[in-house]
Structure 1
Amino acid sequence: MAHLELFLFTWGLYPRRILIYLHEKGLFNSPHIKVTQVTISATAEMIAPGKPKGTVPILVLPDGTFIKQSVAILDYLEDICDKPEEAWQQDIASAAKTSMRGSNARGRATIREILALVDEATSMFGFACHKGSKLFLEIEPTNSAASSMAMGIVRRNMKLLEPYYEGRFEGDSSEAEKVTIADCVFFSFLQFSRELYGVDLVADSELRNLRRFYVTFKERESAKIPEDFYPLYIKELAPIWLE
């Protein structure tokens, strides 16, 4: 049976996007999608049987080729569900829920706009963590001023994202049809920054729509995580920010 193999860290930010998506899409238990967790070797390499070289997530296709970027992986899965061409793709599509990229051109453009803002915020947040979190103090040069500047861009993007969520997620949180790939990507970022680094990016009183989105989405089955989800040694250092 043809299948896709997905290599990832369960708790990593970018793989987390995909896991939330698979739950929301109804594909988490698909027999055609094998999820393989990687481990870190003594030489800091990501290893797992059959894993291609490189960082995760990596999606290996039945023909042996692979896709690495998380949003590209989500787009690929949406494509084969929207227009399945092979029997195994048709099996996946038959189990999948409706399109998560919008029902028309305007809706799809809006999702791309949200993804662009979230990806920029994610990159800047990562930079801020590397320069300002104690987690990286012994690994690379730190710079609290650079960290603060990057966080300023992150918070600016939160304000730019606020209007996109006006009127959304106001009803029953079980309405799966309203969830988009942008929602999965955005929520995983907000959850990661809050639960691992102790930064609540939607705490600003002006971000009422984003706060509602976060509070509502975190109650979904796809979003729930256990207390020990993040490795203890990382969780102890990550929320300590340098002066």
Structure 2
Amino acid sequence: MTSMAIIQYIEEACAPSGESSNICAREIVKGLTPLERARITGITTLAEELLVSWNPVRIFGTKAGTIVYPEGASEMLRWVQRTLSNVDRLLVDRDLEYLGDDERSVTVADVVLFGFLEFVDYCYGVDVTVGSEREWTGVYGRAVREDYPRLREVYGSFKGRKGAMRHGSGEIASEEVLERMRAWYDGIH
């Protein structure tokens, strides 16, 4: 996943001296107010955390991994679910319908978050936006409900954008590799 490269490109393209810059684009991508900019940075950071937290889940829990350790994968999945819950809560006050409209702008956070959701779904066959709705004890001993309605809305809306379509010329694993990536050990997801 190259979300940091995407962020850097967007920020440079929208910078005052960037080739496609204008004040409107900078404000939309980064936020109009200090609070909006903070929220965008917060969601972007959590989306990056999701990707980092996903690595041990996939390495220990799938046949594409190098170490068979399903218990470790399950524990790390709890950390992923914790972060998913945090992101879902941050999205409560946002209008997300516009994400599917190619004519409307999106934020850096939207792009990075969608990148993670699509990567995990396509490569590992796991739509992490669909929680089991069960309650479980979180990593800090609190009751957590595995349900992410706002993330489902982000993913469902955004994947309809032309720019979000997966292209064959991109970085796509072979069918053989995808089969191993999607082969999970029992009890993980």
Report the TM-score, using the length of structure 2 for normalisation. Answer: 0.77
Alignment partner, residue 21 of structure 2: 93
Rounded Cα–Cα distance in structure 2 between residues aligned with 1:74 and 1:115: 9
Alignment partner, residue 164 of structure 2: 223
Residues 62, 180 of structure 2: 8 Å contact kept: yes
Alignment partner, residue 7 of structure 2: 74
Rounded Cα–Cα distance in structure 1 between residues aligned with 2:124 and 2:162: 22
Residues 130, 148 of structure 2: 8 Å contact kept: yes
Alignment partner, residue 34 of structure 1: none
User: CA separation of 1:97/1:191 partners in 2, compared to 1, >3 Å: closer, same or farther?
Assistant: farther
Q: Note the alpha carbon deviations across 1:18-46, whole angstroms, 9 max, x for none.
A: xxxxxxxxxxxxxxxxxxxxxxxxxxxxx
Q: Is 1:165 equivalent to 2:94 in the alignment?
A: no
Stretches of structure 2 that go unaligned for 5 or more consecutive residues are 134-146
| Aligned partner of 2:52 among 119, 123, 133 | 123
User: CA separation of 1:178/1:165 partners in 2, compared to 1, >3 Å: closer, same or farther?
Assistant: farther
Q: CA deviation at 1:238?
A: 0.3
Alignment partner, residue 179 of structure 2: 236
Q: Note the alpha carbon deviations across 1:74-126, whole angstroms, 9 max, x for none.
A: 24641452221xxxx4x3436x9712111121111111111221111111111
CA RMSD in angstroms comes to 2.5
Residue aligned with 1:134, SS? coil
Q: CA deviation at 1:177?
A: 4.2
Alignment partner, residue 129 of structure 2: 202
Q: Is 1:189 equivalent to 2:132 in the alignment?
A: no
User: CA separation of 1:151/1:194 partners in 2, compared to 1, >3 Å: closer, same or farther?
Assistant: same
Letter in 1 for 2:16: K
Identity across matched positions, percent:
23
Report the TM-score, using the length of structure 1 for normalisation. Answer: 0.61
Residue aligned with 1:203, SS? coil
Stretches of structure 1 that go unaligned for 5 or more consecutive residues are 1-12, 18-69
Which of the pair is proportionally richer in strand?
1
Alignment partner, residue 105 of structure 1: 34
Q: Note the alpha carbon deviations across 1:149-173, whole angstroms, 9 max, x for none.
A: 1111101111111122224222472
Rounded Cα–Cα distance in structure 1 between residues aligned with 2:75 and 2:61: 11
| Aligned partner of 1:146 among 55, 72, 92 | 72
Residues 10, 108 of structure 2: 8 Å contact kept: no
Point out which structure has higher relative CO (alpha carbons under 8 A, 6+ apart). Answer: 2
Larger gyration radius, structure 1 or structure 2 = 1
